[in-house]
Amino acid sequence: MIISERNLQRAVELHQTHPVVDAHMDLAGEILLRHQAGEVNILRRLHMKDFKQSGLNLLVSSIYVEDNKLPEMGLRNALDQIAVIRREIDSLNDAVLVETKADLQRVLDENRVGILLYMEGLECIGTDELLLDILWQNGVRGASLVWSRHSALAIGVPRVQAEQIMPAGGLSPQGISVVRYMEEKGMFLDISHLNDDGVADLARITDRPYVATHSNARTITPCLRNLTDEQMREIAARGGVIGLNANKYFSGFDRGGDPIEAMAKQLQYMVELAGIAHVGYGFDMIDSYERAVPRLKQDIVLSDAFSDYTQIPVLTAYLLESGMAEEDIIALIGGNWVRYFMEMLPE
Ligand SMILES: [Zn+2]
């Protein structure tokens, strides 16, 4: 489908005049990697201009700990990520660390870039729930129990390149205990990366709305990192949101095809299944992180549908072109996530 200049222009306008949310980016990890390599002002130099041009109002930054830091250096690495991203946010007038409903409201009222921190996997706490208090005190407002690995709390789905067999086994007793404690504290739960048995357990032990910050539909792209129809229906039934992932493996353009078309196909299916109020953007753009990873000889594998952040309105323009109502598009680009976080964040 060819996108008209008129719809491109309209998409940019919608992004500038309505809340735009991306529910997943490994931003804190990238900032720490670059910081360790001697770079400074990473947010300002590499990201803020693009974020603002795309109309972004809220970015959910993961705190993602690499395998080679676990177990001993995991917590230190997570705390370093939190410290360094907070330091960068503090140094900027147009960026805000979002810890409360009021912070989010301020970001929207003043059209600034809000950054919300969450743990992508709780491997770094082991089974020590007390550490959730420390993370909370430092601005972390949500978590997934596990990344794509086995932990003391839960079992993750395999990495994309690994053999695609869904590992069996639900949450451990400590995992269940952590979920209950997170609920008590008011932390939001993310099921992206959690295996099917774990998701089923979670659905049994909690009534609250949970989300998948960055997962697509398994029916459209048969990859275990994506959600089953049942998992998507359950998120919707509880009032949660599913973030559309822009990664080539999860959107299915790794074997060719147009990335925007592939994502739109995913999105249309997700909307059909979960309803317009329960789908948003969670692009998981990883190329800038990959470029920051120190390497000797390995080539960088690029995975993002967008060449950079400023290209995000192209997807929105595609949706306009395909006849989606503007009211629905406004919900998708950020309205749904804003509703969810306004409910979940503390006063
Ligand atoms: Zn992830």
**Based on the number of CB atoms within 10 Å of its own CB, is 85 exposed (0-12), middle (13-18) or buried (19 or more)?**
buried
Between the CA of 7 and the centroid of ligand 1 the distance, in Å, is 31
Name the pLDDT band for 300 (thresholds 50, 70, 90).
confident
Between the CA of 214 and the centroid of ligand 1 the distance, in Å, is 7
Q: What is the pLDDT of residues 102-122, one digit of tens each?
A: 999 999 999 999 999 999 999
Is the pLDDT at 170 greater than 90? The verdict is yes
Q: What is the pLDDT of residues 248-281, one digit of tens each?
A: 999 999 989 999 999 999 999 999 999 999 999 9
Between the CA of 227 and the centroid of ligand 1 the distance, in Å, is 13
Structural domains of the chain sorted by starting position, each given as residue range(s) with its CATH number in brackets: 24-344 (3.20.20.140)
Between the CA of 193 and the centroid of ligand 1 the distance, in Å, is 6
pLDDT cut 90: percent of the chain above it: 93
Residue 132 CB partners (closer than 8 Å, separation 6+): 122, 125, 143, 178, 181, 182, 185, 187
Name the residue among 268, 263, 240, 239 with its Cα closest to residue 252.
263
Q: What is the pLDDT of residue 297?
A: 63
Between the CA of 61 and the centroid of ligand 1 the distance, in Å, is 11
Tokens in use for 85? 């991203």
Q: What is the pLDDT of residue 30?
A: 98
Q: For the chain, first and last CA: distance in Å? A: 45
Between the CA of 68 and the centroid of ligand 1 the distance, in Å, is 16
pLDDT cut 70: percent of the chain above it: 99
Q: What is the pLDDT of residue 159?
A: 85
Name the residue among 85, 145, 144 with its Cα closest to residue 116.
85
Q: What is the pLDDT of residue 142?
A: 98
